[in-house]
């Protein structure tokens, strides 16, 4: 039996993630396949605060924010799959491995983030994900990372 793939617009993302401007780094998430995989998008714009200093005259999205955007995509995927809307779920980085940067990401780019769950299951606290971020089909970054989900206690 095939399950319809889900999506999350910015309003849904804000109901799942605690992040807000200037640190909300994913604009929409599509192709959510349960807790298995998802595709996130970040529209990179010149008005983001990190471009004031990274680097003046040659704005480049910091690599750590690319990895954070991938992690937020994973958080939305799990949040949608586990129905965590409006439940104040928190997610904490535990590790970042096999991280490589392949291309600059600059204002005007649309960053596409393909995420897969390597390890994790509903009810589990520790999850491992792999992600690849691309711009127009060209790899910008890749990483594996672990995160701990701090799910709110259900009301008894």
Q: Residue 93 belongs to a domain with what CATH number? A: 3.10.129.10
**Domain containing residue 117:** 6-150
Confidence of residue 152 (pLDDT cuts 50, 70, 90): confident
Q: What is the DSSP string of the chain?
A: -PPPPEEE-HHHHHHH----TTS---SEEEEEETTTEEEEEEE--TTSGGGGTSSTTS----HHHHHHHHHHHHHHHHHHHTT-TTS--EEEEEEEEEEEE-S---TT-EEEEEEEEEE--TT-SEEEEEEEEEETTEEEEEEEEEEEEEPPPPP-
Does residue 1 lie in a domain region?
no
Indicate yes or no: pTM above 0.85: yes
Does residue 126 lie in a domain region?
yes
Does residue 156 lie in a domain region?
no
- Kindly report, residue by residue over 52-78, the tens digit of the pLDDT: 999 989 999 999 999 999 999 999 999
Find where tokens 């949608």 sit.
80
147: closest CA among 6, 26, 35? 35
d(CA 110, CA 71): 17
Q: In the chain, what percentage of residues exceed pLDDT 70?
A: 96
- Kindly report, residue by residue over 25-58, the tens digit of the pLDDT: 999 999 999 999 999 999 999 999 999 999 989 9
Does residue 49 lie in a domain region?
yes
Does residue 78 lie in a domain region?
yes
Does residue 79 lie in a domain region?
yes
Does residue 155 lie in a domain region?
no
Domains of the chain: total:
1
Surface-to-core class of residue 28, CB atoms within 10 Å of its CB (0-12 exposed, 13-18 middle, 19+ buried): middle
- Kindly report, residue by residue over 75-121, the tens digit of the pLDDT: 999 999 999 999 999 999 999 999 999 999 999 999 999 999 999 99
Residues contacting residue 32 through CB under 8 Å, at least 6 positions apart: 5, 6, 7, 8, 38, 76, 77, 80, 81
**Which are the catalytic amino acids?**
54
Does residue 101 lie in a domain region?
yes
Q: What pLDDT, on the 0 to 100 scale, is given for residue 125?
A: 95
Query: Is the predicted pLDDT of residue 11 greater than 60, yes or no?
Result: yes
């Amino acid at each position: 039996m095939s399950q319809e793939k889900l999506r999350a617009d910015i309003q849904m993302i804000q109901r799942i993630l605690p992040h807000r401007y200037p640190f909300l780094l994913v604009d929409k998430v599509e192709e959510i396949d349960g807790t298995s995989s998802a595709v996130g998008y970040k529209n990179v714009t010149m008005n983001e605060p990190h471009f004031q200093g990274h680097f003046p005259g040659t704005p480049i999205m910091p690599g750590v924010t690319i990895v954070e955007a991938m992690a937020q995509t994973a958080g939305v995927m799990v949040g949608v799959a586990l129905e965590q809307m409006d439940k104040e779920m928190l997610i904490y980085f535990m590790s970042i491995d096999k991280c490589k940067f392949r291309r600059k990401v600059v204002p005007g780019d649309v960053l596409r983030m393909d995420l897969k769950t390597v390890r994790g299951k509903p009810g589990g606290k520790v999850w491992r994900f792999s992600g690849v971020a691309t711009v127009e089909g060209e790899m910008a970054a890749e990483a594996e990372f672990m995160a701990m989900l701090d799910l709110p206690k259900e009301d008894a």
